Structure 1
Amino acid sequence: MGLTSSKVLALAVLTAVALFVLTIVLWPRLARRSRRAVLGRTGLLLMTQVMIFASVGLLANRTFVFYASWADLIGKEQTQGTVVDHPTGPAGMSQLAVVEKQKVRVHGSKRASSAGQIQKIVVRGGKSGLVSPAYVYLPPEYFQSGHARQTFPASIVLTGYPGNAKSLIKGLKYPTTAHRLAAQGKMQPMILVMLRPTVAPPRDTECTDVPGGPKAETFLAQDLPQAISAAYRVGAHARSWGVIGDSTGGYCALKLGLHHADRFAASAGLSAYYKAAEDVTTGDLFHGDQRLRHRANLFWSLDHLPARNSSFLVTSSKKGERNLKTTLKFIKKVKAPDRVSSIILDSGGHNFTTWKREIPPALRWMSGRLTAR
């Protein structure tokens, strides 16, 4: 059983409960002052606490995927990486290489034509010079003969900072959610390009082209879509592209939608904030350039950039989120012909549990605003 397995978590929880009950049952018998009784009390208390902490740790790891396996946890994952030779092309062209293919965990057949497929890729940006891994979810229809010439809409999916792209698959379950909704006829089949916005780790670039530094915005807005369009059957126009993210990824999604309406027709920010962070993780993002600092403020962008017939989705909750006030401010500032929608929960914190409640309606919303061509 794997480290992130539901069975492992259930076993740990049941063991903790059993030890707790056993402690209560045996406590009167162990209430004596003998050495044996003291050792018994100490042992039961220690084992119960260890299993409680183990249960909490397993739950946190299953949610955020800090460690992918037992070997990864204990530091014995020593398999070296595989060197992948990438084809070269004209200067300025982005390059993409597929390094791994995975099955999508859905009920029924595991064939790509019925379950879809997840491909791990590495993208080298022709304009930014950045290199980043990502995961691409291809829906079942992509492999079906009846859709062999069909193009599909695509959405870039971003984690928060620092983020782990695997969490979009295992924790937030974007591929299985998209598969289920499409099978139910609630959204159209869509390609998902999943990655973390930290394309120049460990620095948090806030999806900004840093003067003299990483060109994160160029990578996400130009290099990545160019590489995906060249490798997969994706619609070439902005109406075929969306971007969605949570937390820092949510800020980035809205920022890309605002600044690159010629590339993205729809953008969704789950628990987003609306102004670039500037702290020890970001370093000096703007180097004193107030124009760049203003541009990284989404409220400033709404006030000063022309509306481009884009669609925005923002989320918050009345209790548990800190961005409710700024989210309502964002909604008020959006001007026609741009459109804005929202998901405001009664309660929900800044966490995976909340985002998993928002992802299904957000994907349906995204699907309704994108076209395959």
Structure 2
Amino acid sequence: MSGLSVLSGGFIAGLFAAVTAAWVAVGRTVGRRPRPTTAAVFLMAILLTIAAAADVVNAYFSYLPRLGDVVGAATEGGSDPHLKTADLRLSTTSATLRAHPRGAVLALPVPDRGSGFGATTALVYLPPQYFDRPQWKFPVLYLIHGSPGIPADWLRGGQAADAGARVAATGHPVIIVMPRMSHGWLDDPECVDGVGERVETHLLRDVIPTAESTLRVDSGWTNRGIAGMSAGGYCALNLGLRNRSVFGSIIDMSGLTRPTHAGGLGPLFGAGPQAQAAMIANSPDLYIGGLGPGPRPRIWLDVGRHDRTVAVAIYHMRDFLDANGYPVQLHVRSGVHTFTVWRPALREALSWFADDVARVSAA
């Protein structure tokens, strides 16, 4: 699933074609070449109209960076004036962080600790209690973006900081870590350790140790969850099941149950028997029955009712998980494959995660 970017190749080509056609039409209408001033005004109007339409479409899908994000003008905290963006480049001790009524969104540098993926930057939502209760440790949800996509999509389209503030207000605060799981917003590594890059290892070796050694995270199994939407939903399901001793909760929003690289699976796994084995080892609907004994993470599946292909896969996955003893629940809501589904899904699933962690901790 991909949205329309104001800077995509398809958009630029379409824009050029539209402007050319409009220029020709004006020339035919007036019977002569338009004056330079008239032509410039006319073409500028066309450019602005098409760019505005593209930006509206992209705002709806919220997948790719909008023009303001590309030039660095975006506010990571979204449109909520109470959520401030701070910088963690120097330190993450509570003394250096300013408290805010509804929490703070921070940039966390993630060094390469041996994955070979390279250094990245994760976005982090810290609840207000992080500043008010310096002795507390907090559960953490690792929230994976889609493809195309970047972590900030969760702050814009998904309103993740607002969701975090809502659960914090109930007394069950959660840290949300939004890692970079691709090298670019058009990259589609499917969160696997493939022939080109080791994204699963990046999460396990780079992101989680950095977050949990830097922030006041309660790193117990039940206090750590993984979530995502679309391709990120597949990532959450696959990585959560492949690492059952790491994640106590899995939230899959509109994710398929097998890797679906746009260029085929060759770029991910190569060719031959080893590639086929790697594909099966990263297809939850194929390996779920062979996992055997071990921890059973709590699983939340969520999908739009009219997202038909994904919904069929999600329904089948629910049945597979239930048959293999996993505590699973399925939520179907109105909508298709957009943030109109994932925004409410995140709010509800995050509340479920926070409440469940609090219940287990109190037991």
TM class by smaller structure:
0.7 to 0.9
Structure 2 residue 204 is the aligned partner of structure 1 residue 198: no
Q: Is the 8 A contact 1:113 1:141 kept in 2?
A: no
Aligned residue type for 1:189: P
Give the structure 2 partner of residue 69 of structure 1: 68
**Which structure has the larger Rg over C-alpha atoms?**
1
Distance (Å, rounded) in 2 between the aligned partners of 1:162 and 1:70: 15
> Quick one: distance in 2 between partners of 1:204 and 1:70?
20
SS at match of 1:322: helix
Matches within 5 A, 1:30-45: none
Match of 1:209 among 183, 193, 203: 193
- Structure 2: runs of 5+ lacking an equivalent: 1-28, 85-97
Say if 2:128 is the partner of 1:140. yes
Match of 1:121 among 108, 125, 134: 108
Distance 1:71 1:234, change over 3 A: closer
What does residue 320 of structure 2 align with?
Answer: 333
Is the 2:78–2:156 Cα contact (8 Å) retained in structure 1?
A: no
The whole-number CA distance in structure 2 between the counterparts of 1:170 and 1:192 is 15
Contact persistence 1:204–1:281 (CA under 8 A): no
- 1:172 and 2:158 are equivalent in the alignment: yes
Name which of 132, 138, 161 aligns with 1:152: 138
- Partner amino acid, structure 2, of 1:209: D
Residues 116 and 209 (structure 1 numbering): CA distance in 2 closer, same or farther, change over 3 Å? same
> Counterparts of 2:43 and 2:100 in 1: how far apart (Å)?
51
**1:12 corresponding residue in structure 2:** none
> Aligned-pair distance for 1:165?
1.6
Query: Structure 1 residues 270 and 123 mapped into 2: Cα distance closer, same or farther (>3 Å)?
Result: same
Alignment CA distance shift 1:171-1:201 (3 Å): closer
User: What's the offset of the Cα at 1:195?
Assistant: 2.9
Using structure 2 for the length normalisation, give the TM-score: 0.73
1:205/1:282 contact within 8 Å kept: no
Task: Find the counterpart in structure 1 of residue 302 from structure 2.
Answer: 315
Taking the aligned partners of 2:343 and 2:214, their CA distance within structure 1 comes to 30
Moved more, 157-166 or 243-252: 157-166
Residue aligning to 2:339: 352
Which residue does 1:238 correspond to in 2?
Answer: 221
Q: Which amino acid aligns with 1:296?
A: N
Q: Tell whether the 8 Å contact from 1:309 to 1:336 is kept in structure 2 after alignment.
A: no
Where does residue 17 of structure 2 map in the other structure?
A: none
Would you say 1:302 and 2:288 are equivalent positions? yes
What RMSD, in angstroms, separates the aligned Cα atoms of the two structures?
Answer: 3.4
SS at match of 2:53: helix
Residue 363 (structure 1) aligned with residue 350 (structure 2): yes
Report 1:198-277 matches (<5 A): 198-199=182-183, 203-211=187-195, 213-277=196-260
Helix, strand or coil: the match of 1:120? strand
Matched pairs, number: 305
Offset, 1:224: 1.3
Amino acid at match of 2:125: Y
Fraction of identical pairs, as percent? 24
- CA deviation digits over 1:268-321, x for unaligned, max 9? 111100001244276532233132111111112211112522111112233243
Residues 278 and 48 (structure 1), Cα distance of their counterparts in 2 relative to 1, 3 Å cut: closer
Cα distance change on mapping 1:44 and 1:216 into 2, 3 Å: closer
Given candidates 342, 353, 358, the residue that maps to 2:330 is 342
Residues 320 and 353 from structure 1, CA distance in 2 versus in 1: closer, same or farther, beyond 3 angstroms? same
| Whole-angstrom CA distance in 2 between matches of 1:70 and 1:215 | 27
TM-score, normalising length: structure 1: 0.72
Contact 1:271 1:321 in 2 (8 A): no
Matches within 5 A, 1:22-101: 53-62=50-59, 63-64=62-63, 66-69=65-68, 72=71
